[in-house]
C-alpha cells in the first residue's frame, strides 16, 4: 500500500505512541485528583501544556486542550460570539474554510448572527484588504484558515490579523494544515486564537488544542467542571494530550528539511504529469502552498474514477475534499477559486508525508499515465 492522504490523517509516530502508553496504563490517574497518582497525571498534563506553548510561541495558560481540530474551531467561533454578543453579532470568514469553521458559522447564522464570507482569487488566496472592507462596527471575529486542507494554499495571516486588529476585531486562524508544515508563531502572526490537531502531525486522533491569547473574551459552549480554566469542561485526555505535545515537538525538529524534501517530491509529481499528460491542472499552483499538497484535475475524467483506479493499485489518495467524499458536488474550495464545476469534479488530492519516497511518486505517476487516458476513452465527458 502507498499512502498519499496525509492531509486527511497521519499514522501515529512510534515515539508518540511510546510517550502515550504510560498514561493509558500505569499512570492512569485523573489530573483533578489530589493523591499522588492524580498529581502525576496533572504534572504530565502541565508539562505538555508548557511544551505546546513553547512550540507555538505562546504562554502555557493560553493553551486549551480539546478533542481535536473541529472542537477547537467550534470553541473559538461559538466561544467568542457568545462572549461578545453585547458588542456585536457579525463574523467574517472565507469561502474556502474547512467545514469545521464553515458549518459552525452557518449554525451561528441560524442563531441570528450575520456572517460574511470573503471570496478568494483564482489561486485560492484571500485578500486582506477585502477582509478589511467586510469588517463592520459590530464585527466580533475574523476567522481565516492558515493553510487550506485541499489545495495547501497559504493565506496571508499576519496581514489579515493586522487588518482585523486595526478595525478593533479579534482574529482566529484554523492552522491545522499549517502546523508542522510551515513555521507557526502566534506572536509573529498576531492572532488571538489558533486551532491545531494532533492527528494531522503523526499524533493521535481526538486530541487538539486552541491557543487563546490572554485577555481574549470567550464563553465556553461546553459546560461542566472547571477543567482547562473553565474553557473546556471534561476530564482531560491525558494520553492524547501527551501525544499531541510529543507529536508537535517531533514534527518541528525536522520542519525545514522535511519541507524541502516533500517539495522536491511534489515538483517531481507535478512535472512528470504535466510533461506526459495533456489537460492537467494544478489548483493553487500560483500561490504559495505548504510543501506536501498537490491538488490536480485531469480534464475529461471524474476524480472519483481516478481514486477508485488508484485504490485498485493499492494507492490511497483523496478526491477534491475528504469531507465531501460521499457528496457528488464538486469541492467548495475549487468552486470558490473559479474552477469550472466539471474540472473541479475531476480533482484529486495528493498529500505527501514522512514515509513518501521518490519511488512511491514514480509508481503513482505510472499508474496515472495508464489510468487517465483509459478513463478518458471510456468517459461520458464530451
Ligand X SMILES: *Cc1c(COP(=O)(O)O)cnc(C)c1O
Report the nearest approach of ligand X to the CB of residue 377 (Å).
Answer: 35
Task: Enumerate residues 63-92 that contact ligand X by CB under 6 A.
Answer: 68-70
Whether 333 contacts 150, CB under 8 Å: yes
| Terminal CA-CA length for the chain | 34
Report the nearest approach of ligand X to the CB of residue 320 (Å).
Answer: 13
Residue among 44, 145, 179, 265 that touches ligand X (CB under 6 A): 145
Minimal CA–CA distance to 194: which of 235, 158, 242?
Answer: 158
Report the nearest approach of ligand X to the CB of residue 75 (Å).
Answer: 12
Answer yes or no whether residue 232 interacts with ligand X by CB under 6 A.
Answer: no
- The rounded distance, in Å, linking the Cα atoms of 372 and 127 is 35
Q: Is 125 considered catalytic here?
A: no
Cell 524534501 belongs to which residue? Answer: 261
Number of residues this chain uses to bind ligand X (CB under 6 A)? 14
The three-point CA angle 297-302-304 to 5° equals: 100
Judged by beta carbon, residue 66 or residue 371, the one nearer ligand X is: 66
Report the nearest approach of ligand X to the CB of residue 98 (Å).
Answer: 3
In angstroms, what CA-CA distances link 344 with 197, 282, 290, 291, 370? 27, 11, 20, 21, 21
Q: What is the contact mask toward ligand X in residues 98 to 127, using x (rule: CB under 6 A)?
A: x-x---------------------------
Judged by beta carbon, residue 318 or residue 344, the one nearer ligand X is: 318
Report which residue's Cβ sits closest to ligand X.
69
Write out the three cell numbers for 321: 475534499
Judged by beta carbon, residue 197 or residue 297, the one nearer ligand X is: 197
Report the nearest approach of ligand X to the CB of residue 52 (Å).
Answer: 15
Judged by beta carbon, residue 206 or residue 217, the one nearer ligand X is: 206
Task: Enumerate residues 151-210 that contact ligand X by CB under 6 A.
Answer: 174, 176-177, 197, 199-200, 208
Task: Enumerate residues 9-68 that contact ligand X by CB under 6 A.
Answer: 68
Please tell me the chain's helix, strand, coil percentages from 3-state DSSP, rounded to the nearest 5: 45, 15, 40
Helix (H, G, I), strand (E, B) or coil at 234: coil
- The rounded distance, in Å, linking the Cα atoms of 231 and 225 is 9
Judged by beta carbon, residue 356 or residue 371, the one nearer ligand X is: 356
Annotated catalytic residue within 125, 134, 171, 323: 323
Report the nearest approach of ligand X to the CB of residue 93 (Å).
Answer: 12
Report the nearest approach of ligand X to the CB of residue 7 (Å).
Answer: 6
Cα 166–chain centre separation: 26
Minimal CA–CA distance to 74: which of 49, 52, 103, 53?
Answer: 103
- Residue 162 CB partners (closer than 8 Å, separation 6+): 128, 190
Judged by beta carbon, residue 197 or residue 319, the one nearer ligand X is: 197
Judged by beta carbon, residue 150 or residue 270, the one nearer ligand X is: 150
Give me the helices (H) in 84-191, please.
Answer: 99-110, 128-134, 157-166, 186-189
Whether 1 contacts 314, CB under 8 Å: yes
Task: Enumerate residues 308-337 that contact ligand X by CB under 6 A.
Answer: none
* φ and ψ at residue 31, rounded to 5 degrees: -60, -15
Supply the residues annotated as catalytic. 323
Binding site for ligand X (CB under 6 A): 68-70, 98, 100, 145, 149, 174, 176-177, 197, 199-200, 208
Amino acid at each position: 500500500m502507498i499512502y498519499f492522504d496525509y492531509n486527511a490523517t497521519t499514522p501515529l509516530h512510534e515515539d508518540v505512541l511510546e510517550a502515550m502508553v504510560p498514561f493509558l496504563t500505569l499512570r492512569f490517574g485523573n489530573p483533578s485528583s489530589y493523591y499522588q497518582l492524580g498529581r502525576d497525571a496533572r504534572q504530565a498534563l502541565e508539562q505538555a501544556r508548557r511544551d505546546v506553548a513553547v512550540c507555538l510561541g505562546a504562554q502555557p495558560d493560553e493553551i486549551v486542550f480539546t478533542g481535536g481540530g473541529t472542537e477547537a474551531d467550534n470553541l473559538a467561533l461559538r466561544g467568542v460570539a457568545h462572549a461578545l454578543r453585547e458588542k456585536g453579532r457579525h463574523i467574517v470568514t472565507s469561502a474556502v474554510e474547512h467545514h469545521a469553521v464553515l458549518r459552525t458559522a452557518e449554525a451561528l447564522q441560524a442563531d441570528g448572527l450575520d456572517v460574511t464570507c470573503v471570496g478568494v482569487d483564482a489561486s485560492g488566496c484571500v485578500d486582506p484588504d477585502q477582509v478589511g472592507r467586510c469588517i463592520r462596527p459590530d464585527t466580533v471575529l475574523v476567522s481565516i484558515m492558515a493553510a487550506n486542507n485541499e489545495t495547501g494554499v497559504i493565506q496571508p495571516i499576519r496581514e489579515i490579523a493586522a487588518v482585523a486588529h486595526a478595525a478593533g476585531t479579534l482574529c482566529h486562524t484554523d492552522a491545522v494544515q499549517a502546523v508542522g508544515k510551515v513555521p507557526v508563531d502566534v506572536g509573529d502572526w498576531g492572532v488571538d486564537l489558533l486551532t491545531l490537531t494532533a492527528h494531522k502531525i503523526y499524533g493521535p486522533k481526538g486530541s487538539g488544542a486552541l491557543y487563546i491569547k490572554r485577555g481574549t473574551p470567550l464563553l465556553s459552549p461546553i459546560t461542566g467542571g472547571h477543567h482547562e480554566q473553565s474553557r473546556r469542561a471534561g476530564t482531560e485526555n491525558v494520553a492524547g494530550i501527551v501525544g499531541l505535545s510529543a507529536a508537535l515537538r517531533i514534527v518541528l525538529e525536522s520542519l525545514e528539511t522535511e519541507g524541502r524534501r516533500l517539495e522536491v517530491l511534489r515538483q517531481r509529481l507535478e512535472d512528470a504529469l504535466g510533461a506526459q499528460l495533456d489537460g492537467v491542472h494544478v489548483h493553487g499552483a500560483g500561490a504559495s502552498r505548504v510543501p506536501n499538497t498537490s491538488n490536480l484535475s485531469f480534464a475529461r475524467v471524474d476524480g472519483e474514477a481516478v481514486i477508485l483506479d488508484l485504490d485498485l493499485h493499492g494507492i490511497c489518495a483523496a478526491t477534491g475534499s475528504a469531507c465531501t467524499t460521499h457528496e457528488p458536488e464538486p469541492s467548495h474550495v475549487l468552486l470558490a477559486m473559479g474552477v469550472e464545476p466539471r474540472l473541479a469534479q475531476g480533482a484529486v488530492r495528493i498529500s505527501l508525508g514522512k514515509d513518501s519516497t521518490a519511488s512511491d511518486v514514480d509508481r503513482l505517476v505510472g499508474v496515472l499515465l495508464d489510468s487517465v487516458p483509459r478513463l478518458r476513452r471510456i468517459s461520458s465527458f464530451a
